[in-house]
Every structure is written in C-alpha cells, then in structure tokens.
A = this chain, B = another copy of it.
Amino acid sequence: MRYVLSVAYDGTHFNGWQVQSNGRTVQGELNEAVYKAFGEWAVVTASGRTDAGVHALNQVCHVDLSADIAGEKLADALNCRLPQDVSVLQSAVAPDGFDANRSAKKKTYCYNMYFAPRRNPLCDRFAVWIKGKADINKMKEAAAYFTGEHDFAAYCASGSQVKTTVRTVYSVDVISEGGFVKIEVCGNGFLYNMVRTLVGTVLWYSSGKLGAEDILASLNECDRNRVGKTMPAKGLVLKSVDYGTDLFGL
C-alpha cells in the first residue's frame, strides 16, 4: 500500500533531505523510523530535495509499505520513533497513481528575513537578519519581474545537472508581517539555490545595487553577473506542495 505523508522539519541540524554517505538527513531519519515501526526498509520519497539547513512546514512524501496500517495512524506510529526536529503532521493512504515527486504541480517556498539595527536571537533560527530598513515597495517592484515562464539558469548553482533550467513562477509575494519580511514564491518547480538567489536579487534591487535592466538581463540572457547573492539556507522554508487534490481529506 502506498501512503502519503506531510512532514515538518527544522533543517538546522540536517545535511539536507536526501540520504547520503555523510551526515544526518531527513530522509534517513524517516527511513529509519519506518524500519523501527514496521521492520521493513522502505524508501521515503519526497516532492523534491531540500538543501542543508532548509526547513519544511509541509514537505509531502510517499512510502510503500507491506504493513497494513490505517492511513491516519501512520503519522503517530512514525512520530514516536522520530527525533525532535522532524514530525509527520498528517498521513493517509495515497490516491491511485500518486507519486510525491512526479505528481507535484506547484510548490511554495517562503523566505524569512527581519530588518533591524541589531541581531535578535529570538528571530534567528528561521530568519536572516538584515541590518537597516526594508523598502517593501522596491522589493515588490523587483518581485514582479519573476512571474511567468523564464530560463532561470542565472539563478541556478553552477554544476547542477538538470534537463532544463526553464521554470514557471506563478507568484512572488512580498509580505511584511509581525516584524518579519517574507518573500513567498510559488512555481511549478525550482532549481538548486533558485529561491535563495531570487531573494538576494530582490534585496539588491531594493538597495539599489541592481537595476531593472540587470534583472531583465539575468532572465532574458541568463547573465549570472546580474543577480544578487545567494541568501543563507536558514531563512528558507518549503511551505506547501500542491497536487491539485486534497490528499488528507480535511
């Protein structure tokens, strides 16, 4: 039986999602919890990888089990075997033909920052400190350039192997809320480092280090020299994955 899970994790102490020879990974912890609970090794497959230090509020995964357990009970069976920084928020039997990776239609990432004269340890775990004042209007101006289908090659870490660097971004929202500035990006898929570099570019535009012509050149001519810096992983959260259907029947 194939099951679907919604998983939240604090990425601070993980070497990313995917199992690898070195370091602790979210997938590794989930695979192990499945083994402890059911005595079988089954690979937990996610909507996509997240990098070292990146968090998730709703990473969606599937896993095939020969064990017979009610869909909604799987979450608690795994949670009592998972460490403090991972938790299965919801579980269900997967719809026919469901694949957490291939069936994903849209993903939404949220990048969290706080603008202040000094660092605040109570904001630091899931957000990046930026010294000074936010120019929300300029950030919104920059954000508007990214919507639509573009070749995001300039926003992709070099050396990554993908078939195409063309992606569609449905929306980029700049939100000022509760002392934080959030940039929410929704798209059909994202390249390695794409959101973090997009956010860095929005910031450089807002502070005047880049102009509209730079952003246009980065998108139209894939010019890597016209983008901002790649922002730190700890500000990034995978907020949701949309499959065009209600997986958990809420």
A positions within 8 Å CB-CB of B = 8-10, 55, 57, 75-76, 79, 84-90, 116-122, 124-126, 178, 237
The closest CB in chain B to the CB of A86 belongs to B121
- Going nearest first, the 3 A-B pairs with the smallest beta carbon separation are A10-B121, A85-B121, A87-B119
Which of B76, B89, B90, B121 is in CB contact (< 8 Å) with A84? Answer: B121
Residue contact A8 to B75, C-beta cutoff 8 Å: no
Q: List 14 A-B contacts (CB under 8 A).
A: A8-B120, A8-B122, A9-B122, A10-B121, A10-B124, A57-B120, A75-B118, A85-B121, A87-B118, A87-B119, A87-B120, A87-B121, A122-B237, A178-B178
Q: How far is the CA of A205 from the CA of B89 in the complex (A)?
A: 28
- Residues of B within 8 Å of A88, CB to CB, are 118
Copies in the complex: 2
Report the minimum CB–CB distance from A83 to chain B (whole Å): 9
Q: How far is the CA of A124 from the CA of B8 in the complex (A)?
A: 11
Report the minimum CB–CB distance from A45 to chain B (whole Å): 20
Report the minimum CB–CB distance from A68 to chain B (whole Å): 22
Q: How far is the CA of A178 from the CA of B182 in the complex (A)?
A: 14
Q: How far is the CA of A84 from the CA of B116 in the complex (A)?
A: 16
Residue contact B10 to A122, C-beta cutoff 8 Å: yes
A89-B118 in contact given A124-B84, A125-B125 (Cβ < 8 Å): yes
The closest CB in chain B to the CB of A118 belongs to B89
